[in-house]
């Protein structure tokens, strides 16, 4: 079984959204061998730091929080679509339509138990890039119409420079969860099983997660 | 596919080891719709709060930390052994030997890519119980000799009342990782696939994780 770890590494100096220092993780040693028989530490981190899943409450007042996230979403069939050849730093409906013409069979990509991961030039960069490639509102509307389970991207945000946040809102209102902070540089375009397991934190608007791709279609899915 | 979520729910009032308040998670809202277009929050938690994996550094000075944890460990064949019928609040070598006589075939339970989960009366209790059932040093020595990948238990600690911490040390020195804080009340004794995905935090002595059991043996494993 080939396994791709597509999660960001969490460290105190990792890239965070807009490099806002308040979003950086803090690791504190609470016991060590100088004064104790054990070593222990504590973590402080923003829910949107590193690889994480956005829940509706992130942009919808009164929206669902993490405990509504269905465990069925942990293991889904998944297509990685390679947009690293795009000149523009935005993925539009037209770009998605064009890729789907190349791929051919819609039914292998879209469906209520399928996830789509957008691989972009972001995966080639380690530092936070304010001009990161994002999914615009037309692209979000296209995916919402296709009724997928989730969409992921290799940026700390799935959109930028859309003051009304239409990409987040369109997807979250359509019941499509959003995975941000993926690392896809090593992963070729194709079909996989996505395992994305968020921490079981109750009542929050986003949850840090570990995400891996399994390059095998023989795992039974619900 | 039947999926059991065997992780603890993370909340501010969840049970923590010895009910030490310093170990309780803290959730802070950093933006909300009163003053912003988005809702965001931040988490502070002890690495040993909730479901987590212990790395060697937890009890071995200079021991390996989280980045040495092999991704192969994320998906393993796994046996849940039911010790809820034990009178004593401890699992010894003798108890393990007796269960293995009942189960019969050692090769279905032990091996370098196999994980053993110990289901005890702890899974029936929600609050922290200072007299939780644990694995003693003779039980740890037995499992170390069997050369398994990992061992998990439904308590926030795998041992108590052993001042030299022999259970942790024996397992960690044998390269056996330890999962603590599991919830196994719903899970019958038997064979599963264990998916345990810790956050990808670098350089720490333990990592919070989401753990699920898949009741199917048809998933390809490395």
Sequential DSSP letters for A21-51: GGGS-EEEEEE-TTTSSS-EEEEEEETTSSS
The predicted-structure confidence for B133-163, as pLDDT tens digits, reads as follows 999 999 999 999 999 999 999 999 999 999 9
Percent of chain B clearing pLDDT 70 (strictly above): 97
For residue B221, the chain A residues in CB contact (below 8 A) are 1
Contact (CB, 8 A) for A133 and A122: yes
| Minimum-distance CB partner of B199 among A48, A210, A221 | A210
- Residue B167, pLDDT > 70, answer yes
Minimum-distance CB partner of A3 among B30, B71, B200: B71
pLDDT at B221 over 90: no
Whether B71 has a pLDDT exceeding 90, the answer reads no
pLDDT tens for A9-40 read: 999 999 999 999 999 999 999 999 999 999 99
pLDDT score of B219 more than 60: no
- Measured between beta carbons, the chain A residues lying within 8 angstroms of B210 are 74, 197-200, 209-210
pLDDT mean over B88-111: 94
Among the residues of A17-165, which ranges form H helices? 93-103, 137-146
Name the residue of chain A whose CA is nearest to B24's CA.
A42
Contacts of A30 in chain B (CB under 8 A): 22, 46
Using CB atoms within 10 Å of the CB of residue A162, give its burial: 0 to 12 exposed, 13 to 18 middle, 19+ buried. middle
Q: Which residue has the higher pLDDT, B69 or B79?
A: B79
pLDDT in tens, A53-100: 999 999 999 999 999 888 888 999 999 999 999 999 999 999 999 999
> A137-146 and A93-103 helices cross at what angle (nearest 10)?
50
Nearest in space to A176 (alpha carbons), one of A145, A138, A208, A199: A145
**pLDDT for the residue B218:** 52
Asked if pLDDT for residue B91 goes beyond 90, the answer is: yes
Q: Inspect the interface and report whether the beta carbons of A42 and B45 lie closer than 8 Å.
A: yes
Residues of A with Cβ-Cβ distance to B71 under 8 angstroms? 3, 5, 212
As a whole number of angstroms, the distance between CA B10 and CA B29 comes to 16
pLDDT of residue A216: 67
CB-based contact A144:A174 (threshold 8 Å): yes
Average pLDDT of chain A, as a whole number: 94
Which among A30, A40, A160, A164 is the top mutation candidate for probing chain B, defined by the most B β-carbons within 10 Å of its own β-carbon?
Answer: A40
Cα–Cα distance between A158 and B157 in angstroms, integer? 39
Categorize the per-residue pLDDT at A222 as very low, low, confident or very high, splitting at 50, 70 and 90.
very low
Task: Read off φ and ψ for residue A137, nearest 5 degrees.
Answer: -65, -30
Q: What is the pLDDT of residue B119?
A: 98
Range name among A116-125, A148-157, A208-217, B118-127 with the lowest pLDDT average: A208-217
Question: Which residues in A108-131 are b (16+ Cβ under 10 Å) and which e?
Answer: ebbeeebbbbbbbbbbeeeebeee
- Residue A199's pLDDT band (cuts 50, 70, 90): very high
Instruction: Kindly provide the b/e burial profile for residues A142-153, where b requires at least 16 CB atoms within 10 angstroms of the residue's own CB.
Output: bbbebebbbbbb
The strand pair at B150-153 and B114-119 is best described as: parallel
Q: Is the pLDDT of residue A158 over 70?
A: yes
Residues B150, B151, B155, B160, CA torsion sign = negative
Question: What is the average per-residue pLDDT within B84-96?
Answer: 97
pLDDT of residue B159: 98
The pLDDT of B59-84, averaged and rounded, is 93
Rounded Cα–Cα distance for residues B38 and A172 (Å):
13
**Min Cα separation A98/chain B (Å):** 32
Q: In sequence order, which residues have a C-beta less than 8 Å from that of residue B209 and are 6 or more positions away?
A: A197, A199, A210, B7, B51, B52, B53, B179, B196, B197, B198, B199
A1's CB contacts (< 8 A; 6+ apart) are A214, A215, A216, B75, B220, B221, B222
The angle subtended at Cα A89 by Cα A81 and Cα A114, nearest 5°, is 25
Which of B15, B41, B169 is most worth mutating to test chain A (most A CB atoms within 10 A of its CB)?
B41
């Amino acid at each position: 079984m080939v396994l791709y770890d597509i999660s960001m590494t969490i460290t105190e100096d990792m890239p965070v959204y807009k490099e806002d220092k308040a979003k950086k993780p803090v690791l504190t040693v609470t016991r060590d061998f100088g004064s104790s028989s054990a070593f222990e530490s504590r973590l402080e981190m923003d829910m949107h730091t590193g690889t994480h899943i956005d829940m509706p409450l992130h942009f919808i007042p009164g929206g669902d929080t993490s405990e509504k996230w269905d465990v069925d979403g942990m293991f889904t069939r998944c297509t990685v679509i390679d947009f690293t050849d795009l000149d523009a730093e935005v993925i539009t409906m037209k770009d998605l339509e064009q890729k789907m013409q190349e791929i051919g069979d819609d039914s292998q990509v879209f469906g209520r138990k399928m996830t789509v991961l957008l691989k972009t030039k972001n995966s080639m960069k380690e530092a936070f890039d304010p001009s990161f490639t994002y999914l615009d509102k037309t692209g979000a509307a296209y995916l919402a119409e296709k009724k997928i389970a989730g969409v992921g991207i290799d940026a700390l945000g799935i959109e930028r420079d859309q003051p009304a946040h239409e990409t987040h809102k369109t997807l979250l209102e359509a019941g499509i969860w959003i995975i941000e902070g993926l690392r896809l540089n090593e992963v070729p375009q194709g079909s996989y099983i996505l395992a994305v397991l968020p921490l079981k934190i109750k009542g929050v608007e986003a949850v840090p997660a570990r995400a891996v791709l399994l390059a095998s279609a023989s795992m039974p899915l619900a």
